[in-house]
Homo-oligomer: A and B are copies of this chain.
Amino acid sequence: MIRVGIVGASGYTGVELARILCHHPEVELSLATSRRYAGQPLSRVFPNLRGIVDLVCEDVQVEDLAQRADFFFLAVPHQTAMNFVPILLEAGKKVVDLSADFRIHDAGVYEQWYQTHTAQNYLGEAVYGLPELYRERIAGSRLVANPGCYPTSVILGLAPLLKNYLIDPQTIIIDSKSGTTGAGRSANTATLFCEVADGFRAYKVGEHRHTPEIEQELGLLCGRDLNVTFVPHLLPISRGILSTIYASTSKEISQNDVNQLYADFYADEFFVRVCEPGSFPATQFVRGSNFCDIGCRVDARTGRIVVVSAIDNVVKGAAGQAVQNMNLLCSFPEDLGLRHIPLFP
């Protein structure tokens, strides 16, 4: 049993961490911080938690944080997270940081896409928290950089192909669509119900900050630097990311071979479900769960392969994967507290 604190509990990632952790058999939720809602029960901010979670939101000073829990989830914006990490690590705590601050290994790249990095000497020990790829290193670390939502869907989708050098790394095009939880819970005209409902749009075309994170990880998979075209879109749904990924095959490969490749590659991964041949994922079939569903099609007419992957961006794309990482860090069974079945419809 460990005491766990959620720093930044009043966003959509925060409430999802609370939802998952409050039923986790090895966790005692000991702290939920929120400046905006300090003094209010978390279950008043999120009435779904009523009768289940009785934490009160607190505005805790950085220096007082460490004593309040053994393990911390940082669900705060990038640039804020890098202020907490050194203090918590120095106090001997373990941290899963859900912001972007420790995902990019190269501080120069980070600063090019974000802003100045003030905790660069912790970059080296941060492990990129995609358990399906880095399970062992995560288990031995004390600081995990939880992957971005889009990158999670993309990297899991392409890993079998890239690791086996089956596609040309310079031809990767990623068309991703995300539910609106991805835009956060701050008051904002652009994400009002009436602006998003019954509509669909592209945004940050070719300039989204998840681009360097995707490129770093895809590059590591195939051992080559690469650039991708990445275009995110905003879906009129709350949860879910579906990424449709295109690449040219680097050798001839049959549909059957690809089916077999994915089935084998993910045979032991509980949280990755390869679709039946000929069928493709949908966000509604992973809703509320930590699954990543993947389907593929070889487009022989054009010499390309199309990979479609779907996750719940709040779970496998954020809070669920963070708990999966906590399980690894704490030597709990990796799926402990995470076997939620997708809620359909």
Contacts and interface: CB of A to CB of B under 8 A. Distances in A.
Interface of A: 12, 15, 19, 22-23, 44, 46-52, 170, 173, 175, 177, 179-181, 185-189, 191-203, 205-206, 227-229, 231, 233, 235-240, 242, 244, 246, 270, 273, 275-276, 279-289, 291, 293, 295, 297, 299, 301-302, 304, 306, 308, 310, 339, 341-345
A236 B197 contact: yes
A52 B270 CA distance: 10
A279 B190 CA distance: 14
A206 B306 contact: yes
A253 B75 CA distance: 41
B198 A287 contact: yes
A228 B295 CA distance: 20
A202 B288 contact: no
A7 to B, nearest CB: 20
Given A194-B181, A304-B229, A306-B229, A240 B200 contact: yes
A308 B48 CA distance: 16
A200 B238 contact: no
B233 A342 contact: no
Contacts of A15: 344
B233 A51 contact: no
Given A192-B191, A192-B193, A342-B48, A199 B229 contact: no
Given A19-B341, A235-B235, A308-B205, A285 B47 contact: yes
Given A185-B189, A193-B192, A44 B276 contact: yes
Nearest to A342: B48
B341 A49 contact: yes
Contacts of A188: 187, 192
A228 B302 contact: yes
A206 to B, nearest CB: 4
13 contacts: A47-B285, A48-B285, A48-B342, A180-B192, A191-B194, A194-B345, A195-B284, A200-B282, A201-B242, A202-B280, A238-B345, A288-B343, A343-B343
A281 B341 contact: no
Nearest to A307: B205
A260 B73 CA distance: 38
Given A12-B194, A175-B175, A203-B280, 6 more contacts: A48-B343, A175-B244, A199-B237, A200-B235, A206-B299, A231-B306
Contacts of A284: 48, 195, 198-201
Contact of A304 (B173, B195, B280): B173
Contacts of A279: 47
